[in-house]
Structure 1
Amino acid sequence: MRINSFFKLVEIQTKLASVIPFSLGVIYSVYRFKSFNLNNFILMFISLITFDMATTAINNYFDYKRAVKKHGYNYELHNAIVKYSLKESAVIITISLLLLCAVTFGFLLYLNTNILVLILGVISFAVGIFYTYGPLPISRMPLGEVFSGIFMGFVIVFLAVYINAGEGLMNLEYINGILTLNMNLKEIIYIFLYSVPTINCIANVMLANNICDIEDDKENKRYTLPIYVGKENALKIFKALYYLIYIDLVILILLRVVPVVSIITLLTIILVKGNIKQFFKIQTKKDTFALSVKNMIIVNVTQIIAIGSAIAFTL
């Protein structure tokens, strides 16, 4: 398999959906807890990125296997297996190697941390695999936005903070037959609020994708959220999720969870609002789907820069 076909199979450009929440978690750990663990950083990053590539490849493989519609933009150009005439055996081997790498580095991360990381990792891996695999994949139900938003937008951020900040956030202990879970509830709530922009942006990438694919999904029997609620309601949800981000950012600044300089992130509403307006005019993969990805980058990278600058000024 050539490198260009491999990148298309794993949709390398979409890996930002993993890298951004991971980066946000790491930088939050440094800012709020003054803590960074290089070994854990490397182990989680490799496990995360290879698993993300594996799940994307699985998604493309099963879309290829289950496709009812054999002609059209999404099938002939969007799916790498068709576009590059990839052998099924090569695709399966690639997926297996990526999963092996992800599991190996994930297990090494557990050995370097504790059982809680293993539990959250196993649950996340299961959700990632069953997102596209099984008799009723999550991606073929109106739950894709919820699962992708929570697990990629919050769980990744939380784990990135946890592996760097230590067990002060949450600790699971089993002593004399008693299982005890200790949580710093305030800090966990703060991390969730901090994750809302990522949760909503990632959910909207999925939602935009499903809005663009409504007709094809109907033919391929993918009953996504826009099919259940209708395009108009799906567009309203799309807009509302973005505006909730800015309400959340104001709360974060007022609670001093993030530095005051994060106020610059509020200014991104100008660009995001313009992109929302464009998306409302036309919803296609070719013309406007990328706007949801741009919004994710605009909001979250600005937040990373803001917090990074606050860290730099305290050094």
Structure 2
Amino acid sequence: MPITTFFKLVEIQTKLASLFPFLLGTLFAAYYFNAFNLVNTLIFFVAMLIFDMTTTAINNLMDYQKAKDKGYKDEVNVIGQEKISEKLIIRLIIGMLIAAMLLGILLVFRTNIILLVIGAGCFFIGVFYTFGPIPISRMPLGEPISGLVMGFGIFFIAAFVNVNDTNLLSLLFSKQSFILEGNLVSILSLFFVSLPTVFFIANIMLANNTCDLEQDIVNHRYTLPFYIGKKQAVRLFNVLVYLSYVVIVVAVLLGLLHPVLLLLLGTIIPMRKNLALYNDKQVKSETFVIAIKNIVLFSSSEVVLLAVSLLFK
């Protein structure tokens, strides 16, 4: 399989959705916990990227196999477009899944066994997000689950592999007993600061499902926009964007982020222009990209400002 075809299969351009929570979680660990572990960070990055590509390949395979519309199957889905062998895709999926699991187990040995529990949960959700008789992506739970697992899950693990586990979360065994220890304030701080990423990743899924609403109904995919309607889905898209700015302001007021992060408010002007274009029409080929532009605009600015805030430590 040519590398260009492989990149289309795994939709390499969408991996920004996992890159941003990874970068933000790593930088927040350095800022808030004064902790950074280069080896653990690199191992997690590779494992995360491989697993993200795996779930996307599974998604495309499931969409191809479950498609009711022959036009979509042969002309829209990458497997039909590129005439890729299903057996080859299955072998790729298994290979990438094993590689991600091995890297994850290595990280468990380098940190704490609680990571095995967290990682297993992420693997389960990631696989069954698109696999099985009723995958999560075909239900109205797709947006909140994708936002939480990627936006908070990746953010949390990126911080966890850098921070001494006793300062954050740990699972200890002693004969027949086990002790689960954690710092509730630290965990809640991580969750709150990760919320903008949660919202923007959920918005990518929301925009995709809103633009594909008619096609999804034909292919028996009943996602959140089907239940709440396109008008409310567009309204929710806007609300999640503005809530992200509110979170940043509150996080600064709580002392979780440096005041320099308030410069992020300057991105509201181009963000409003993006939202105006999206509100005008929801067409996959024309305006879905706005969801990607939004996360790039907001999260890349947040990454830069969080990195700058390290200079004031």
Separation in 2 of the partners of 1:77 and 1:313?
53
Any idea what the Cα deviations from partners look like across 1:181-232, whole Å, max 9, x if unmatched?
A: 2221111111111101100000000000000000010010001000011111
Aligned to 2:302: 303
> What is the CA distance between 1:93 and its match in structure 2?
1.4
Q: Is the 8 A contact 1:9 1:57 kept in 2?
A: yes
> What is the CA distance between 1:166 and its match in structure 2?
1.5
Any idea what the Cα deviations from partners look like across 1:17-71, whole Å, max 9, x if unmatched?
A: 1111011000111111111111111111111000000000000001000100111
Alignment partner of 1:291: what SS? helix
Aligned to 2:229: 230
Q: Is the 8 A contact 1:201 1:296 kept in 2?
A: yes
Matched AA of 2:21: P
Aligned to 1:18: 18
Q: Is the 8 A contact 1:9 1:79 kept in 2?
A: no
Separation in 2 of the partners of 1:242 and 1:291?
12
Alignment partner of 1:164: what SS? coil
Aligned to 1:2: 2
Q: Return 5+ residue gaps in structure 2 as ranges.
A: none
| Aligned with residue 116 of structure 2, among 99, 115, 118 | 118
Any idea what the Cα deviations from partners look like across 1:72-118, whole Å, max 9, x if unmatched?
A: 5xx45542211111111111111111111111111111111111111
Q: Are residue 179 (structure 1) and residue 178 (structure 2) matched?
A: yes
Aligned to 2:89: 91
Aligned to 1:271: 270
Alignment partner of 2:170: what SS? strand
Any idea what the Cα deviations from partners look like across 1:237-280, whole Å, max 9, x if unmatched?
A: 11111111111111011111111110111221212221111111
Matched AA of 2:95: L
Aligned to 1:100: 98
Aligned to 2:218: 219
| Aligned with residue 81 of structure 1, among 79, 82, 86 | 79
> What is the CA distance between 1:180 and its match in structure 2?
2.3
Separation in 2 of the partners of 1:78 and 1:196?
33
Separation in 1 of the partners of 2:142 and 2:75?
23
Aligned to 1:256: 255
C-alpha RMSD of the superposition: 1.2
Matched AA of 2:87: S
Aligned to 2:46: 46
Any idea what the Cα deviations from partners look like across 1:128-155, whole Å, max 9, x if unmatched?
A: 0000111110001000001100000001
> What is the CA distance between 1:176 and its match in structure 2?
4.5
Q: Are residue 57 (structure 1) and residue 54 (structure 2) matched?
A: no
Separation in 2 of the partners of 1:238 and 1:47?
30
Separation in 2 of the partners of 1:179 and 1:146?
32
Alignment partner of 1:48: what SS? helix
Separation in 1 of the partners of 2:270 and 2:293?
10
Matched AA of 2:98: L
Aligned to 1:145: 143
TM-score (norm 1): 0.96
> What is the CA distance between 1:9 and its match in structure 2?
0.1
Q: Are residue 33 (structure 1) and residue 43 (structure 2) matched?
A: no
The number of residues matched between the two structures is: 312
Aligned to 1:282: 281
**In 2 relative to 1, CA 111–46 (structure 1 residues): closer, same or farther, beyond 3 Å?**
same
Matched AA of 2:126: G
> What is the CA distance between 1:13 and its match in structure 2?
0.3
Matched AA of 1:143: L
Separation in 2 of the partners of 1:276 and 1:86?
37
Matched AA of 1:32: Y
Separation in 1 of the partners of 2:306 and 2:76?
36
Separation in 2 of the partners of 1:179 and 1:103?
24
Q: Identical aligned pairs, as a percentage?
A: 42
| Aligned with residue 136 of structure 1, among 134, 137, 141 | 134
Q: Return 5+ residue gaps in structure 1 as ranges.
A: none
Which deviates further from its counterpart, 198-207 or 257-266?
Answer: 257-266
> What is the CA distance between 1:305 and its match in structure 2?
0.3
TM-score (norm 2): 0.97
